[in-house]
Amino acid sequence: MDATPEVGAPREPESPEESANAPRCVICFARRRDNARFCAACGAPQSSEAQAEHRAQVPDLARHLTIAGAAFALPLATSLVLMIVGVRDVGWLRLSEGVCLIVGAGGLAALGAPARAGLQLPHGLTLRGVALTIAGTLAALCAAACLSALWPLTTGDAIVQLYLEAGHGLGTALFDFSVLAPIAEELAFRGVLLIALVSVLGETGAVWTSALLFATLHLSPISFAHLVLLGVVFARLRLATGSLYPGMLVHGVYNAIITLYDWRGESL
Amino acid sequence: MNDALPPATDAALASAPDPFARAVCHGCGAALLPSGRFCDACGRDQAADAADFDVEIAALHAPQIAKARKWIAITGGLYVLGGLLMFAVLSGRGGDSLTATVTLVINLVIAGIHGGLWAWAARAPLAASIVALAIFLMVHLTNAVLDPATIVQGILVKIFFVAALWQGIRAGLEVRKLELGRGRHT
């Protein structure tokens, strides 16, 4: 380390290539070799080709964090607007899923190939992965059922009531919660938020952060723990299989069970 | 990648004073300039291979990261105090005990989440700061929607918290950039 020159400090010529007429770095003005692709003093790329290579290797963290922030902020803003205007019809509930779909589509376009890879068919899911997914989902279902029994405020009773009042049947509720919601939320959270965070935080950090943000956006502190668990299961599925579809499937099954449970309780 | 510059030959390595330490790039094998910190063929930071590099970059940003972690703990403590205070006020009025209990439980849950984030911040300060800021925004924007009067309540604490976390996130990003940059093109 001691022999390393300070970044930006011009070096003395050390070889015939480093004559007084040798080119200088475009950033720190240190002398460099004619054919150098990077500056030896500051590491800056010296050609458009090297710059493109550098960008491909070192992702733009601020941009990825901004995309992740947008994927969190837009659904949050929608939830807050719905709180202000008041949810008077099931159409308002679909609005937040619509925002998630827009966030998902926009994010996939902005993040490029790594995010769009999630639209491919799944591969590489091991028996251990399947077992962990089932165990995690069952644990979350048990937690939701226990909370529902102990603390009625955590159930989806109010939402089910909204469907009943609007004259919608169980089929409509199941379509909204076990088809529309998983597609929209998986696109936004695992398709965009998770993938944007992977380059910023690494895989483990991104999995936990996306799961915590997923739980946060549900605006239910009591359900926070099992929503985090679900978020981890869905994120691990996305990374293990390289696809969003297994997560959508498990998310849909989970939501269908919860919807049936709440519907039965409300109809009795 | 190395077509522009010749790779180090055996003769060059033999004549170099310390061939394994600095003569060739650890990433691409191209010959290094004796006083250069970076490989001019692939851009890899040669100083990054030194053992003290992690210590150096961590020390550079440690104050902001520690400050963010401290504010996560302070905020968690404030949720505990706020929850107890609101529980006492709501119960003291002889009003709805369910509302008082719900308020207390929600505050304690959020405080518990902050406790977890504080512990996590020791290992992953950037991730914990991002989540803490997101939860803070969610909680206070929701409160503001439900009761606009809460916007100005504890405004100084809110400003300090957001500023500290913002600095922590920026510091964490800088550390991450350096970590990624030192291993680039490998």
The verdict on B6 touching A (C-beta cutoff 8 Å) is: no
Q: Which residues contact A250 (CB under 8 A, 6 or more apart)?
A: A133, A137, A233, A234, A237
Residues of chain B positioned with their CB less than 8 A from the CB of A11: 33, 35-36
Q: Tell me the pLDDT tens digit for each residue of A34-66.
A: 888 888 877 777 887 777 776 666 667 888 989
pLDDT at residue number A56: 63
B95, B144: one domain: yes
Is there a contact between A11 and B35 if contact means CB atoms under 8 Å apart? yes
Does residue B144 share a domain with residue B65? yes
Residues B111 and B67 in one domain: yes
Distance from CA of B83 to the nearest CA of A (A): 14
A45 has which bridge partners?
A: A38
So what's the ipTM on this one? 0.72
> Does residue B118 fall inside a structural domain?
yes
Number of domains in chain B: 2
Please give the Cα distance from A108 to A192 (Å, whole number): 6
pLDDT, tens only, B141-161: 888 888 888 888 888 888 988
String of DSSP letters for B3-72: SSSPBPPHHHHHHSSSIIIIIB-TTT-BBPPTT-SB-TTT--BSGGGSTTHHHHHHHHHHHHHHHHHHHH
For residues B37 and B84, state if they share a domain: no
The label of the residue with tokens 């009067």 reads: B149
Q: Which of these three, B9, B32, B50, is where a domain ends?
A: B50
Residue B19 in domain: yes
Q: Is there a domain that residue B182 lies in? A: no
Is B185 among the domain residues? no
Identify whether residues B170 and B116 lie together within a single domain.
yes
State which residues form the domain around B3: 1-50
Chain A CB contacts of B127 below 8 Å: 201, 205-206, 208-209
Q: Are residues B107 and B23 in the same domain?
A: no
In a domain, B127, yes or no: yes
Domain boundary among B27, B50, B73: B50
Q: Which residues of A touch B126 (CB under 8 A)?
A: 200-201, 205
Residue B151 counted as domain residue: yes
Alpha helix segments (H runs only) across chain A: 48-57, 61-85, 90-111, 113-116, 127-150, 157-165, 170-175, 181-185, 194-217, 224-241, 245-267
Q: What is the pLDDT of chain B when averaged over all its residues? A: 76
Please indicate, yes or no, if residue B135 is contained in any of the structural domains.
yes
Residues B71, B30 within the same domain: no
Say whether both B126 and B34 belong to one domain.
no
| Residue A213 sits at the chain B interface (C-beta within 8 Å) | yes
What CA–CA distance (Å, rounded) separates A212 from B133?
12
Is the domain of B64 the same as that of B136? Answer: yes
Note whether A11 contacts B: Cβ–Cβ < 8 A: yes
User: Looking at residue B13, what is its pLDDT?
Assistant: 44
How many angstroms away from the CA of B93 is the closest CA of chain A? 23
| B104 and B149 share one domain | yes
Residues B40 and B78 in one domain: no
Average pLDDT value for residue range A104-118: 89
B51-103 confidence digits (pLDDT tens): 455 566 667 677 777 888 888 898 889 889 988 988 888 887 666 777 788 88
Q: Amino acid letter at A51? A: Q
Angstrom distance (rounded) from CA A205 to CA B176 = 12
Could you give the count of Cα atoms lying within 13 Å of B22 in the half-sphere of its Cβ?
16
Among A205-214, B9-18, B102-111, B160-169, which range has the highest average pLDDT? A205-214
User: Does residue B184 lie within any of the structural domains?
Assistant: no
Residues of B in contact with A206 (CB under 8 A): 127
Q: How far is A110 from chain B (nearest CA, A)?
A: 20
Tens digits of per-residue pLDDT, B127-145?
998 999 999 988 888 888 8
Chain A residues whose CB is inside 8 A of the B5 CB are 33, 35-37
Q: Say whether both B145 and B78 belong to one domain.
A: yes
- Confidence check: pLDDT of B1 > 50: no
Indicate yes or no: CB of B38 within 8 angstroms of CB of A43. Answer: yes
